[in-house]
Amino acid sequence: MNEINLNRGIVYVATGQRYIDEAVTAATSCKKHNDCPIALITDSNKYDLPPGLFDMVIIKEARYSYRDKILLKHSPFEQTIFLDTDTYVAEPLDDLFSILEYRELAIHQADEGYEFKMPGFSNAMPEFNTGVIAFKLTPAVKQLFDDWDTQFDVNPDITTDQYHLRKTLYSSDVRFAVFSSAYNFIIYYPNFVIQSIKIVHGRPAELLPVIAADMNRIRHENSWRRMFFPYSNDFALIYQNLKNEDIYKLIRFHSRAMLGNWYRGVTRIFKGNKKEPGH
C-alpha cells in the first residue's frame, strides 16, 4: 500500500446516506482534475464506498446538523481544501492551495446572512459561504474552529453554520483571504465570474457540470465577465458579443419569466373577482 502524502489534500464531510451519495459524486469529479489525496470524514464505517475514491475515511460522532461541517477540523492534511458534498470540481485546485502559502484560511464572501442582527458587530463584516474553505490547521485556525463550534451552544436558536462563523471570524486572529466566485460558483442566485470556474456549488448535481462547461466554453477574448442567471433548474448567460446559442437561451429565459408574470397577474385578477359566499 502506498504511503499517503499528508502535505495537501481534499476533505469532504458526509453524515448520513444522502450526503454519502453526494460526496461520492462530488469526489469523483474532484479526482478527475486533482491528484492529491481525498479524505472522507463520516459517522460510520458501514457505508458502501467505491474502492479507491477516498484515500482515507475518518469516523467521527455526528449531530446530523449544520454543525457537522466543523468536523473538518479533523483534517489529516497540513493544507486542506474542504468541499461541501453538493459541489462539482471542474478544474485543478492548485491556486487554492497556493494561497495557503500566504494565509491561514481562505473563503468566499457571500452577500447573505444580514437577516440576523449582530449587536456590537459591524454590519460591514460579511457572511462567508462555507461550501469551500481552504485552511491550514495553525493554532489560530484551530481556535477559530473550536470557537465556531462553541457558538452553536451560545446561540442555539440560530442553527446555520455561516452565521456562527461570521460572528466568530469577526473577533478572530486568523489571517484570512477571500477568493472569487470562480472557486465557489453558487448557482442559486445571479452570479458573475471573470476567471474560468473551478468549483460549482448547488443542486441538482446533474446541472453542475453543464453550468461549468457552458461558463468555461466562453473564451476570454470574447468576453472576460460572464453573468449567470438561474431559472427553475435552467440558466441564461450574458456576456459581450453574445453567440447565437446564448441569445436564443436568453430569449427563452425572459419569455418564461414574462409568461410567469402574466399568469400570476391573470390569476390575481380572477381571484379578486370571486365573491365570497353570502355576498
Strand, coil or helix: 50: coil
251 within 8 A of 231, measured Cβ to Cβ: no
* DSSP conformation class of 17: H
175 within 8 A of 193, measured Cβ to Cβ: no
Helix ranges (DSSP H) in 171-243: 208-217
The DSSP annotation for 116-172 comes to: S--TTS-TTS-EEEEEEEEEE--HHHHHHHHHHHHHHHHSTT---HHHHHHHHHHT-
SS3 of 249-276: the string is HHHHHHHHHHHHHHHHHHHHHHHHHCCC
User: Over its length of 279 residues, how does the chain's per-residue pLDDT go in tens digits?
Assistant: 568 999 999 999 999 999 999 999 999 999 999 999 999 999 999 999 999 999 999 999 999 999 999 999 999 999 999 999 999 999 999 999 999 999 999 999 987 767 677 777 788 888 899 999 999 999 999 999 999 999 999 989 889 899 899 989 988 999 999 999 999 999 999 999 999 999 999 999 999 999 999 999 987 666 678 999 998 888 999 998 888 999 998 998 889 889 989 988 888 888 776 555 554
Instruction: Indicate whether this model's pTM tops 0.85.
Output: yes
